[in-house]
Structure 1
Amino acid sequence: MKRSAKGADAMNEAVTRGIRMAAKRTIPKGKGVAPAFWTPELTKVDKMVQECENERKRDVLIRWRRKVLADTALGRWKENVAKLSATDSASWKLVKSIYAPRPLTSPVLVVDGHPPTKRQQVQALPNMRMARATKAPHAPEMKIPSTRRCTFQPITEAELDVALRELFSGTAPGDDEIHCEELKQLGRASRTCVLRLFNCSLRVGQVPVKWRHGIAVPLLKPNKPANSMASFPSVTLTSTLCKLMQRIVARRVRDCIEEKIQAQQAGFRPAHLTLDTLMQVTNAVRQRKDGEKTAAVFIDYARAFDSVDHGCIVKELLSFGVEKHLVVWIAGFLKGRTAKVRANNVLSGDISLTCDVPQCSVLGPLLFIVTVDSLTKRLNCTPGLQHGFFADDLIIVRTSADLSEIQRTIQQGLDCITNRSAEYYMEVSAEKTEYTLFGARETSLLSLKVGETVLKEVRASKLLGLTMQPNNGLSRHALSVKAAANTRLMQLMAVASPEWGPERRSCAHFTFHLSSRRYAMTSRRGGSIHRCRIASCWRGCRHRRCAYWPAFAEPLTRRTPCAFYYLRQMRVACKMQAVALHFCSPCFHF
C-alpha cells in the first residue's frame, strides 16, 4: 500500500487487493482448449494436394478438400445451433451478428494522405475527447455543501445485496481488474469489508482516486467511415467496486426525486417508455380539429451529455432535497475525473474531464434528467405549448387554426430552451434542429429561429425511431419496419431449429396477447397501402413456417382502427418476442 494513500483510498486498495488474492487462490488456472477446426482428414487431403504433381488429379483433390471443408463447417454449425437457447444472451449475439452491418474498411485516421502510427492515433482520440468534456471558461466552481448538521444514514447489508444482484455478468472490468462475478461470490466477511469501505466513503464524502479513473475504448460505428473522428464513440471501463457503490447511491437518489420529476420526462425512469413521448405527439396530430394545424419542433442538443456542468448538477440535486451526504459523494465522484484512451493495445496519457456526466456509469443518466428537469418546469409555464422529453430528445408541439399563434408560441418555447440551455452551459444545435407542420400541404409557412439561425422544415420527421409524414402518415415507417422484420427473419432462418424456442402456448401468449395489450395504442388511421406492406411481412412469416404466427392474426381490413397497432405488434413479434419463432425445417447459412 502506498504511504500517500489515506482514508477511503487506503481501504479501497486493501479491499481490492484482498479480492484479487481470493480470486487467485479460488479460481483454477488453465487455458480453455477449443477443438481444432482443421481435422485430421483435412490435414491428410491437404498433404495429398501439395504432393500431387499431376494437374488434373490436383484439381480433383482441391475440389475434394473444398467439399470436406464445407461438410466439416456444416457439421460444426449444426452442433453450435443445437446448443442455442432462447434465454442465453450469447445465442442472441450470434443471431444479431448474421447479416449485421459492418464498418467501412479504411484506416483509422488519415493525415496528409497517409495513415499515422499507432501512437499518433492514440493521441488524436484523447484530444477530441478532452475538447468535448472541457468546462466552460466562464462557469463558476462547483460549491460542495456542508454535512456537519446532517444525520448520516449508513448503507445496510440489504442495500448491498440488492446492488450485487443488479450487477451484470460478463462485463469487462475496469482498471482494478475485478469482475462482477467475483463480487457476487464474496463471503460474509468480505461483504462486511466492502460495506465498511462504502460507508467510510459516503460518510466523509471521499471517492477513491481509482474510482474516478477510467479507460476509454473507442468503437467504430457500423456503416460509418473510419477516417472520421465522429465515428468512434467510446465505452469507458471503470472500477467494478465503484459501479456497485453507484447503484446504491442511485437507488437512494431515485427514491427521493422520482415523484418530483415532471411527467414530461420519460427517459431513464421506471414504468416509462418511448411510447409515452411518441403517443403525445401522435395524439396531438390525430386529435386536431378540421382546419387546425400542428407544428412539432425536434430539438437537438450538441454534446448533450458531455457539456453538462458539474456545479449545475449539484445545485439541482439540492433543489430536489436529496440528502447532503449523497450530494457530497456525487460531487466528489464528478470532480477530478480522469481517463486514458486505449486503441490498438496502446494507452494514451491521462486526460482531465472537467465537465459532463459519465454516460457509461450508473449515475450518469439519472444526473442528466435531474439537470434538465428545470427546463421542463419553465416550458410548462408557456400556455398552449406541449412538450416531451426522452433523455436528451426534446420535442415541442403546438396545435391551432391560427398560424400566427403557432408561430408566436413555438418561438417563445425555442427562446426559453435557448436561454435555459445557455444558463446551464449547454448548446442547442441549430443545424440539426428541425420542424414539421402537420395539416398543411404548403411549405415555409413558419419562420422559426434558434438564436439567429433559421430552422429548416422537413416533410419526414423522425422521433425515437418513428418516421412521421404530414401527408403520407406512417408509410415510410411501415417500409422501415418491414425491412427490419425481414432482416430478423433472415437472421433466425440462419440458425433455424425446431427445438429452439419456448413451447407453443408461450409463443402465442407473448407474441399476440402481450403485444396487443402493451402496444395497441390509437394513432392515425392507416391507409390500404400501409396495410398491404405490413401484410406482406405476415405472409413472409407464413412462408417461413413460423409456429402459430398467423393463427391468431386478425385480418387487415378497412375497418382496422390503425396501422400503428400492427406496426408495434410487428416490432414486438419480430424484435422483442422473436423467441416465439421456431421453424419446422432448418436452413443453414455459413
Structure 2
Amino acid sequence: MKDAVDAQLRDQQAGFRKDRLCTDQIATLWTIVGQSTEWNLSLYINFIDYEKAFDSVDRRTLWKLLRHYRVPEKIVNTIRNSYDELQCKVVHGGQLTDAFQVRTGVRHSCLLSHFLFLLVVDWIMKTSTSEGKHGIQWTAQNQLDDLDFADDLALLSHTHEQMQIKTASVAAVSASVGLSIHKKKTKVPKFKADSNPITFDGETLEDVESFTYLGSITDEQGGSDADVKARIGKARTTQDTQHPLAGYHQQQPFVGENKPVSR
C-alpha cells in the first residue's frame, strides 16, 4: 500500500520516504540560496511551522484523503476502525480525569502515523500550489514551489507578491484539514529582496538573516560554512563538558613535572 501511494506523492516531499534524506533537502536549499545570491536574484523563503501538527489533523478529512490516494476501501475501514472510540485520560491538578474521546490527530509511536500525515501535507501543498506560478524557476520548463520534510515546509518564491499569495493559500488549505500555522515560529529569510514583510492573518512574520532548517544553518551564502563552524563549536563544547578528563590537565601537573624525590 505504501509503495502504491508513494508513487503519487510530490517529489518535493522527502520525509519518511525510502531513499530520501533530509541532507538532500538541505543541499538543494543551499544550492538555491547560493545561486540566487551569485546571480543577484531576489529570493523569499518561508519556513512554515505548524502548531501541534500530528495532534491536530481532522480524522474525517484523513479518511477522505486515503480514498483520494486510491487506498482500497477495506484498508481504509480497517485503519478507521482502529481509531474509532479511541479514548484518553489526562492528569489535571494532580488528578486523573474521566476518559474522553479523541477526534483529531494521528497516533503517537505508530508506524502508520507518519504515512498518514504525509498524505495530509502532500494534499495541502498540491492544492495550495495548483493555481498560478508562484515558485522559483527550477528548470526551463518547471518551477519549484517548496521543499518539504514531513511537516517542515520551506516555501520558495522570487517576489514578495508571490510569497504573500502562497503563504495565504497554504494557510487556508491547512486550516481546512485542521492544521494551524504557528505565527511566532514561522520565519522568513529574504535574500536580495525588498524590506516589505510577509504577513499572515494580520500579523507580520519575522524576518531573519539565517535559519536552522532540518538541523543545518541556511544563510545568504547557502549555509555550509556557517553550519560547519556551528557544528565544530558544538562538538568542542560537548567534548569539554562530557569528556571525563576535560580540564584535568589544567589542574594537575604532568608526571614529569613532579618534584624529584629527595635522597
TM-score, length-scaled by structure 1 = 0.37
Which structure is higher in strand share? 2
Candidates 99, 104, 108, aligned match of 1:359: 108
Q: Secondary structure at the match of 1:428?
A: coil
Q: Does 1:480 align with 2:230?
A: yes
Letter aligned with residue 333 of structure 1: S
Candidates 322, 325, 343, aligned match of 2:74: 325
Q: Secondary structure at the match of 2:55?
A: coil
Change (3 A) 1:376 1:464: same
Letter aligned with residue 210 of structure 2: A
Letter aligned with residue 310 of structure 1: R
8 Å Cα contact 1:265-1:390 kept in structure 2: yes
Gaps of 5+ in 1: 1-252, 400-405, 496-590
Shift in Å, 1:327: 0.2
Alpha-carbon distance in 2 for matches of 1:491, 1:455 = 37
Q: String of CA shifts for 1:138-159, please: whole Å, max 9, x gaps.
A: xxxxxxxxxxxxxxxxxxxxxx
Q: Secondary structure at the match of 1:397?
A: strand
Q: Superposition RMSD on alpha carbons, in Å?
A: 2.6
Shift in Å, 1:424: 1.1
Instruction: Give the total of aligned pairs.
Output: 233
Identity of aligned residues (%): 24
Shift in Å, 1:485: 2.3
8 Å Cα contact 1:379-1:387 kept in structure 2: no
Change (3 A) 1:422 1:489: same
8 Å Cα contact 2:107-2:113 kept in structure 1: yes
Alpha-carbon distance in 2 for matches of 1:394, 1:256 = 24
**In the alignment, what sits opposite 1:313?**
62
**In the alignment, what sits opposite 1:464?**
214
Query: Greater relative contact order (Cα 8 A, min sep 6): structure 1 or 2?
Result: 2
**In the alignment, what sits opposite 1:438?**
191
Shift in Å, 1:426: 1.5
Q: Does 1:371 align with 2:120?
A: yes
Candidates 146, 162, 178, aligned match of 1:387: 146
Change (3 A) 1:472 1:363: closer
Q: Secondary structure at the match of 1:265?
A: coil
**In the alignment, what sits opposite 2:6?**
258
Q: Does 1:281 align with 2:34?
A: no
Which structure is higher in helix share? 1
Letter aligned with residue 398 of structure 1: S
**1:163-242 matched pairs, under 5 angstroms:** none
Q: Secondary structure at the match of 1:298?
A: strand
Letter aligned with residue 275 of structure 1: T
Q: String of CA shifts for 1:11-43, please: whole Å, max 9, x gaps.
A: xxxxxxxxxxxxxxxxxxxxxxxxxxxxxxxxx
Change (3 A) 1:287 1:471: closer
Q: String of CA shifts for 1:82-113, please: whole Å, max 9, x gaps.
A: xxxxxxxxxxxxxxxxxxxxxxxxxxxxxxxx
Q: Secondary structure at the match of 1:358?
A: coil
Shift in Å, 1:480: 2.6
Change (3 A) 1:451 1:275: same
Shift in Å, 1:455: 1.3
8 Å Cα contact 2:15-2:21 kept in structure 1: yes
Alpha-carbon distance in 2 for matches of 1:447, 1:488 = 38
Alpha-carbon distance in 2 for matches of 1:395, 1:303 = 18
**In the alignment, what sits opposite 1:427?**
180
Q: Secondary structure at the match of 2:89?
A: strand
**In the alignment, what sits opposite 1:298?**
47
Letter aligned with residue 427 of structure 1: S
Alpha-carbon distance in 2 for matches of 1:361, 1:424 = 20
Q: String of CA shifts for 1:233-288, please: whole Å, max 9, x gaps.
A: xxxxxxxxxxxxxxxxxxxx313211111111111111111122212321211222
Q: String of CA shifts for 1:198-245, please: whole Å, max 9, x gaps.
A: xxxxxxxxxxxxxxxxxxxxxxxxxxxxxxxxxxxxxxxxxxxxxxxx
Alpha-carbon distance in 2 for matches of 1:414, 1:346 = 42
